[in-house]
């Protein structure tokens, strides 16, 4: 009886790990984009 719950919890763990990695990737990309935009803005100061 514990097998379905075990499989379900493993799927949740895998989804959380993948979601965390994807979130870190998106954050890194957005940070790089906004960092480069801020560096090229001459009228921002």
pLDDT tens digits for range 1-45: 455 677 888 899 999 999 999 999 999 998 888 876 655 555 554
> What pLDDT score does 34 carry?
80
Non-local (6+) Cβ contacts of 44 within 8 A are 38
- CA–chain centroid gap for 38, Å, is 22
pLDDT value of residue 25: 96
The pLDDT assigned to 5 comes to 78
Report yes or no on whether pTM surpasses 0.85.
Answer: no
Integer Cα distance of 17 and 21 in angstroms: 6
Structure token pair of residue 9: 């919890």
Which pLDDT score is estimated for 35? 78
Q: Helix, strand or coil for residue 41?
A: coil
Please tell me what DSSP assigns to residue 20.
H
- Please give the Cα distance from 35 to 5 (Å, whole number): 44
């Amino acid at each position: 009886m514990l097998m379905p719950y075990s499989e379900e919890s493993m799927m949740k763990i895998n989804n959380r790990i993948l979601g965390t990695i994807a979130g870190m990737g998106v954050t890194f990309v957005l940070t790089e984009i906004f960092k480069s935009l801020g560096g090229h803005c001459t009228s921002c100061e």
